[in-house]
Amino acid sequence: MVKLPATTARLQVLNQDLCLGLYKGQVWAGEFAWIFHWHFRQGKLHVEPSLGRALIEDALLRFLLRCDHQLEVGGEYNFLVRATV
């Protein structure tokens, strides 16, 4: 079985609103950077800009589903992105 290329992504939580069920943050991987809005009560993730979004969206969603209850504003977190281009 062939291993997919892997990149470590960095995530920073910028804002959290538990009443609205929302996290806002930034994520970087390689030379790309995105802003995300995670509406955890609805299970919806919005990532901008669109450039490279397909590479990060699934890995970011899996990370948020697994760890959103542990995230804190100002916190920086890492997760692994495996994908082919």
Query: pLDDT tens across 7-45, in order?
Result: 999 999 999 999 999 999 999 998 899 999 999 999 999
**pLDDT at residue 85 in the model:** 54
* pLDDT: which is higher, 75 or 55: 75
- Tokens 């509406």 correspond to 39
- Tokens 């970087």 correspond to 28
Question: Cα(42)–Cα(38) distance, rounded to whole angstroms?
Answer: 9
